[in-house]
Amino acid sequence: MLIKSAQFIISNSDYRKCPQDNRPEYAFIGRSNVGKSSLINMLTNRKGLAMTSSTPGKTMLINHFLINDEWYLVDLPGYGYARRGKENRERLQQIIEDYILQRESLTSLFVLVDSRHEPQKIDLAFMEWLGENGVPFSIVFTKIDKLGPVRLKQNVEEYKQKLLERWEELPPVFVTSSEKRSGREELLDYIGQINAS
Ligand code: GDP
């Protein structure tokens, strides 16, 4: 898919205030620092489109970007901040859950995980929750430039095995590096195919 245009539309913390035009929506989520902003900027070819989680005030918001006047790319808040405090964490979880369960135009979710790390409980629990709720999702491994091909293969395999302990089928898996711009075509083509179907 060619990215002809990408523009920021709106940020808010309530799915009911998100755009109402029913264009298909693809949301990106992951733990803080997983490389979500870098991936969104890489996919859209816009350096500063998604702001990094270090940007003050940005972290609790759902951000909508309109792509090719056709679909929305949604930057969801990162989950699992230890530093947030209980109240903030619970509020954030509510924002994310409400969006995922209530947002009718949400077509698919991309769950980002750092390819260097072994499967983390919080990510696995989140995917389990998605599965239980019938939410279509893919796994996106990030920062693959940080490890060699053998190690990458091992880590991805380990992840798949972990999921197969609980599920009969695996979600689609993408391997990406924003640094090297890899995985970009695969991910965008996947979105393009769903949009065309
Ligand atoms: P976010 O908090 O998930 O939005 O993560 P960021 O996109 O801000 O990235 C967190 C850190 O990881 C930053 O220092 C990035 O430069 C770095 N990073 C993100 N993606 C990549 C990647 O593909 N390769 C490498 N080597 N570093 C990355």
Phi-psi region of 94 (alpha: psi -120 to 50; beta: other; left: phi over 0): alpha
184 CB near ligand 1 (under 6 Å) = no
52 CB near ligand 1 (under 6 Å) = yes
Q: How far is residue 150's CA from residue 33's CA, in Å, rounded to a whole number?
A: 24
Length of the chain: 197
Q: What is the pTM of this model?
A: 0.95
Q: Looking at this predicted complex, what is its ipTM?
A: 0.99
- Please tell me the distance between residue 36's alpha carbon and the centre of ligand 1 in angstroms: 7
Q: Break the chain into its structural domains and give their ranges.
A: 6-196
143 CB near ligand 1 (under 6 Å) = yes
6-12 and 62-67 as β-strands: parallel, antiparallel, unpaired?
Answer: antiparallel
Q: What's the topology of domain 6-196?
A: Rossmann fold (3.40.50)
Q: What is the pLDDT along the chain (197 residues), one digit of tens a residue?
A: 999 999 999 999 898 999 999 999 999 999 988 999 999 999 999 988 887 655 555 567 899 999 999 999 999 988 766 566 778 788 888 999 999 999 999 999 999 999 999 999 999 999 999 999 999 999 999 999 999 999 999 999 999 999 999 889 999 999 999 999 999 999 999 999 999 99
Q: How far is residue 145's CA from residue 54's CA, in Å, rounded to a whole number?
A: 22
Mutation pick for ligand 1 pocket among 32, 38, 40, 43 (CB with most ligand atoms within 8 Å): 38
pLDDT digits (tens, 9 = 90+) for 147-194: 999 999 999 999 999 999 988 999 999 999 999 999 999 999 999 999
Tokens matching residue 83:
């530093």
Closest-CA residue, ligand 1 atom 28, reads 143
